[in-house]
Chains A and B, each alone.
Chain A
Amino acid sequence: MQTLNSYAPEIIRIVIAVVGATVLVFGNALVMGYMERKLAGHFQRRTGPMEVGFHGILQLVIDGIKLMSKQLVIPAKADKPLYMLAPIVSFGPVFLPLLVIPFSDRIQAFDLDVGLLFILAIAAINVLAILVAGWASNNKYSMFGAFRAVAQNVAYEIPMLLSLLAIVFMTNTFSLRGIVEAQNVWFIVLQPVAFLIYLVCMVAETNRAPFDLPEAESELTAGFLTEYGGMGFSLFMMAEYTNMFIVCSIATVFFLGGTSGIPLPYFEYTGIIWFLLKVYLLMFFLVWIRWTYPRTRFDQLMNLCWKYLLPFSLVNLLITAVVVKL
């Protein structure tokens, strides 16, 4: 977008960025929804959606129409304004982190100096939305789901930040572009421990299996989603898929070299191919572990965070600091 920056007025740049982010959010939800169900099928040696369109490729379109046409049911004793607000609070902010992610050398809306902090700050709003949803539903399952989500997200934010901070120590910048440019060698090679810690935290932060305690079906029906149907539910789901995309993008930027790959013509723009390839490989990994591991118990989840991830990330940070200082 730097070229556009010099020719086009700011307003056009913003419009293009917003449209791009919107397309990405909805497109990603469609692709991931289909990919998740198809992969879920094949991991269990069945076919997944097969009926609507070729190999069920239009299934998500049909689902979208169904969800949109459903009546919005509000429980009688729910806190109505908050109940309506929660999906919007969850879904609204997911567009913003997409604006600072460097998809290729030139496809990036804004290169903020504090890009990482910006993303993490925005991503934290999702926890608030889940808490509001659980509280406003006036349902014990929703409430428990919300409790769990907050405890889990607050706990896992710490090792996640510490592992990313190790990279920031090495690159001396919070700007995502700067971090991509600093990677002569992918940081997964230099910081494998940080990558593993980030990978675990990434799953926990997006509330996905095996850390999907906030919406554990077998004990909490659907957790904070219990009372939501129709568009309320689908806004939460789209927010979840976009959050997956965002955490995978951060992993790509920080550990997998961002756009770096085999050079293609017009690499300033076509670098996005490598970027998206890496992101979707990580997404595939998320789906893969979802269909592999059983759900952890809550004390196990907390043990993993406080007894393993946190000490390891601290030690990793300390070693990084010492090595950088030398």
Chain B
Amino acid sequence: MKAYFSELFTGAWSLILGLKVTLKALFSPVVTVQYPRQKIDVTPNYRGHIDLIKDPETGTHRCITCGMCMRDCPSDCIYLEGEKREGVKGKVLTLYTLDYTKCSHCGACVEVCPTQALEYCDDYEVAGFAREDFHYDLLKRVEERE
């Protein structure tokens, strides 16, 4: 009999506490945003597809065309080419393509790069109608960036 009433009162009390929690939530400010009209900053930890970093000192990328990223990529989504030029030390990057349809964001390319030439970009609106929309030319992207 005692258990019956104590159960009743603890139960009722916990119900009241529950109501208090949701009432507090009702009068708290909304935490979501109306997405296509409002956007929030992307967290720096976000992993988009990879991008070549634009070095502020030289005004261009830091890739030395060693091909480590191409070899290290488990999904074979990176392809790059370079050529030897007169008067320039080392090879010059002529093509850097990323097949984003295969990329799994493992980050092996970013880690293996000897010159830290790669980063994750923060593009998150990357819908497309064709597979080819996701074949990125990273060299062109780094040149086009301001």
Contacts and interface: CB of A to CB of B under 8 A. Distances in A.
A44 B4 CA distance: 34
Nearest to B21: A292
Interface in B44-59: none
B111 to A, nearest CB: 38
Interface stretch (B26-34, B76-84, B113-121): B26-34
Nearest to A290: B22
Contact of B30 (A45, A288, A307): A45
A308 B22 contact: no
Nearest to A47: B30
Interface residues of A, number: 16
A45 B24 CA distance: 10
B32 A46 contact: yes
A43 B30 contact: no
A288 B28 contact: no
A42 B30 contact: yes
Given A293-B15, A308-B8, A46 B30 contact: yes
Contact of B26 (A43, A47, A289, A307): A43
B22 A291 contact: yes
Contacts of A114: none
B127 interface: no
Interface in B6-37: 8, 15, 18-19, 21-23, 25-26, 28-32, 34
Given A45-B32, A308-B8, A288 B19 contact: yes
Nearest to A41: B30
Given A50-B34, A308-B8, A45 B25 contact: yes
Greatest chain B CB density within 10 A among A43, A288, A289, A292 is at A292
A250 B41 CA distance: 51
Contacts of A289: 19
Given A47-B34, A308-B8, A42 B26 contact: yes
Interface in A34-49: 39, 41-47
Contacts of A41: 30
B145 to A, nearest CB: 34
In the complex, the 4 A-B pairs of residues with the closest C-beta atoms, listed nearest first: A46-B32, A292-B22, A45-B31, A292-B18
19 contacts: A42-B25, A42-B30, A43-B22, A43-B25, A43-B26, A44-B25, A45-B28, A45-B29, A45-B31, A46-B31, A47-B30, A50-B34, A288-B19, A288-B23, A289-B19, A291-B22, A292-B18, A292-B21, A308-B8
Given A45-B31, A47-B34, A288-B19, 10 more contacts: A39-B26, A42-B26, A42-B30, A44-B25, A45-B29, A46-B31, A47-B30, A292-B21, A292-B22, A293-B15
